[in-house]
Amino acid sequence: MKKWIGFLLLLTLLSCAYQERNWYKPNMTEVELKRDSYQCEKETINTGYSWVRSDAFYRRCMEGKGYKVVKNKTEYPGQPNQLPDKPSIGKGTSLGTCWPITLGYVVTSQHIVEGREKITLIRPDGKTILATVFVGDKVNDIALLKVANPNELPSALPIAVSKPGIGAKVFTIGYPHPDILGTKPKVTDGLISSVSGFQDDPRTYQITVPLQAGNSGGPLINLNGEVVGIVTSKIDAVKVFRWTGDLPQNVNYAVKISYLKALIDSVQPLNYSINELPKEAGDLEKLSKRLQDSMMIVLAE
């Protein structure tokens, strides 16, 4: 039993939780990997106009790259008086990805919005929309959000009818580390490496799609542009390394879409076909272009 509990602790959720900041752990320095954002992060400060890291972050990560901190303001190369247009965020805020499933309703991960009082959706064009939790499934880490004006939402994503098998090509579009990488949607792709998840969990897929903090809640999409799952977690690679001496790569998880369907049907049947994008096969570039405008940031305070 103790060993099984220990394995559960190896999973890392993918929301950016600025209060507990678990997504910055483990410290990559301790396994002597190359320097990256994990080893550089120290704290987040809210300047009122953008996400800005502490002086320690810039000293360790940004010096020598043309960036510097001047009186809590970031100067960018060639743009000393211009700052990127980003929403403010501070401690106590969770961040992830969300997407419309039908008129007035949005899907994300439960761990992002649980216990939060204010939920804001941010479209790719920067427009903000207030939302509330319509229903949540803590066990399967799914939340269905509702907005007052359905017309403010982008087009809904189509839900897959058939299940993907092992080896199926899939991808996600989301907002990993938006405070560092920017607030434009990012695409990563990979395969279904197993039709069962952590410890053979039948509710999830194991996937090779690269995931980072901020991807939580994003859709896992097949090459027909249909959602087959919801991105939720990944293996804590450094904890596994400390335990076994082996460093796992691309071991990530997505909740199967059937659990979202069951959640929706348990509260009220929704019309999946309203304002929905077409189901149409294509290459990754064409699919990404078609779907990216439906992806939104979710901020939960």
CB atoms under 10 Å from CB of 214, counted, come to 26
pLDDT digits (tens, 9 = 90+) for 121-161: 999 999 999 999 999 999 999 999 999 999 999 999 999 99
* Mean per-residue pLDDT of the chain: 75
- Assess whether pLDDT exceeds 50 at residue 60: no
Nearest C-alpha neighbor of 69 from the set 79, 58, 60: 58
Report whether 213 contacts 15 (CB < 8 A). yes
pLDDT digits (tens, 9 = 90+) for 173-186: 999 998 888 899 99
pLDDT digits (tens, 9 = 90+) for 214-245: 999 999 999 999 999 999 988 888 888 888 88
Domain positions in the chain are: 20-75, 95-301
CA 208, CA 282: separation in Å to the nearest integer? 20
Q: Which CATH number fits domain 95-301: 2.40.10.120, 1.10.490.10, 3.40.250.10, 3.30.200.20?
A: 2.40.10.120
Q: Determine the 3-state secondary structure of 241 from DSSP.
A: helix
CA-based Rg of the chain, rounded to a whole angstrom? 19
